[in-house]
Amino acid sequence: MNMNEYIEQAEHDLLHTYNRYQIVLDHGDGVYLYDIEGRKYLDFVAGIAVFALGYHYPGYDETLHAQIDKVIHTSNYYYNVPAVEAARKLKAASGMDRVFFTNSGAEAIEGAIKAARKYAYLRDGTTDHEIIAMEHSFHGRTFGALSVTGNAHYREAFEPMIGNIRFAGLNDIESVKKLVNAKTCAILLETVQGEGGLRPADKEFLKEIRSLCDQNDILLILDEIQCGMGRTGYMYAWQESGVKPDIMTTAKALGCGVPVGAFLMTERVGANSLAAGDHGTTYGGNPLACAAVSKVLDIFDSDDITGHVREVAPYLEEKLDALVQKYDFIQERRGKGLMQGLKFDRPVADVINSAMSKGLIIINAGADILRFVPPLIIEREHIDEMIDILSQAIEETASA
């Protein structure tokens, strides 16, 4: 079948919950993707911040092949070596103490919420605890994750959500303080908001949140699903500020393409929250997924991926800042490291489609923000190539 025929077949067979771009991707190589007709695209999406190492990074594929030849799945009734090794390495990279492997970021959020509520239940024996989340946040599509997502549009058709969720403003400590009460068991936020517009949490805000939690025996949950795994130049974005969470979620680039996530916690929370029978998963922590995690963490360490991000990210920021200066309809650049956004005063869909027609894949974060989350292995030459194509797309759509 040709491209159009595959698209028509997909629209006939798949539930229409995505407005997909009109290309059928076939394979990748380095930082490039190719469609089924052989056309090449510079990838500045990376599967939505998943393919941190690009496509076919040396040693990654071979590790998965070797594990497939052994065993893919055994269930959590038994131990497996990749899970043990992956947990040890993830603890070292994150500074956390206990790990629970999931299949996705949304599942990691679900587990974090359960752990926080169980911690509070064991503390005072009640079940009416509240969680404070942030406006404009995004944590996933499952009911718990959706309940703490700070965008009413995502929630309204599926009400009622899980109860006792309150929303404060990111970087507005007074709005948080107004919501804290004796029932508050956790404060949950993305260290850098992704879908909500590439908004980083200020260091001072994080420090004030940490102090507020410590004073009131409230757990701090940091969602590092998109901004973690080196994307900001630190293995996890909170590490730049030194504000350590009690519970942390991670996914996306954790497996660099293999579906896997995790929630992690300190020993204090681990010893006083979820116990045997409280939580589980059939596929989470299986040997194949954990072999991927283990190898990814090895590569991040041996090849200094975070160091490379800190080296190349300022060049991307410089080039994006130049676009802000050049075009008055681009209002600002937002983000950290290789998690960047350009805010326009108009919808950006036409720019995305024009760029794609010229061989560049980018996505949005809201109707008026272009998002840049490329593989972390990009070089300056790739940034130059991206800026060249993007500039053409901006000029083309601005004059249309």
Read off the pLDDT of residues 297-353 as tens digits, 9 standing for 90 and up: 999 999 999 999 999 999 999 999 999 999 999 999 999 999 999 999 999 999 999
Contact 287, 71 (CB under 8 A): yes
For 65, the token pair is: 């092949």
Q: Which amino acid is at 130?
A: E
**Which two tokens mark 159?**
């009400």
Which residues form the domain of 167? Answer: 71-302
Tokens 């058709």 map to which residue?
A: 157
Whether 247 and 217 map to the same domain: the answer is yes
How large a percentage of the chain has pLDDT more than 90?
A: 98
- Is residue 286 located within the same domain as residue 379? no
Task: Quickly state the pLDDT bin for 400 (edges 50, 70, 90).
Answer: low
Cα–Cα distance, 264 to 100 (Å, whole number): 6
Using one digit for the tens of pLDDT, what is the confidence trace for 230-241? 999 999 999 999
Of 302, 330, 352, the residue that ends a domain is 302
Last residue of a domain, one of 302, 317, 341: 302
Q: What is the C-alpha to C-alpha distance for residues 43 and 318, in angstroms, rounded to an integer? A: 19
The pair of structure tokens assigned to 172 is 């507005």
pLDDT number for residue 287: 98
| Cα 145 from Cα 56, distance rounded (Å) | 32
Confidence of residue 399 (pLDDT cuts 50, 70, 90): confident
Residue 295 sits in the same domain as residue 315? no
Each residue of 354-382: pLDDT tens digit?
999 999 999 999 899 999 999 999 999 99
The predicted pLDDT at position 160 comes to 95
Is 354 among the domain residues? yes
Q: Find the range with the poorest average confidence among 17-21, 57-61, 307-311, 376-380.
A: 17-21
Residue 119 Cα distances to 4, 247, 278, angstroms: 52, 11, 12
- What's 16's domain CATH number? 3.90.1150.10
Q: Residue 62 falls within a domain, yes or no?
A: no
CB 24 within 8 A of CB 36: yes
Question: Domain check: are 142 and 273 in the same one?
Answer: yes
Q: Do 289 and 221 share a structural domain?
A: yes
CATH of the domain at 102: 3.40.640.10
Mean pLDDT (the chain) is 97
Q: Model's pTM, two decimal places?
A: 0.97
Token digits of residue 345: 């005063």
Work out the average pLDDT over 48-60. 98
Q: What is the pLDDT of residues 67-99, one digit of tens each?
A: 999 999 999 999 999 999 999 999 999 999 999
Region for 140 from its dihedrals, namely left if φ exceeds 0, alpha if ψ lies in -120 to 50, beta otherwise? left
Q: Are residues 275 and 348 in the same domain?
A: no
Do 298 and 309 sit in the same domain of this protein?
no
Q: What total number of domains does the chain contain?
A: 2
Final residue in a domain of this structure, among 302, 326, 361: 302
pLDDT at 93: 98
What is the tens place of the pLDDT at every residue in 161-213? 999 999 999 999 999 999 999 999 999 999 999 998 899 999 999 999 999 99
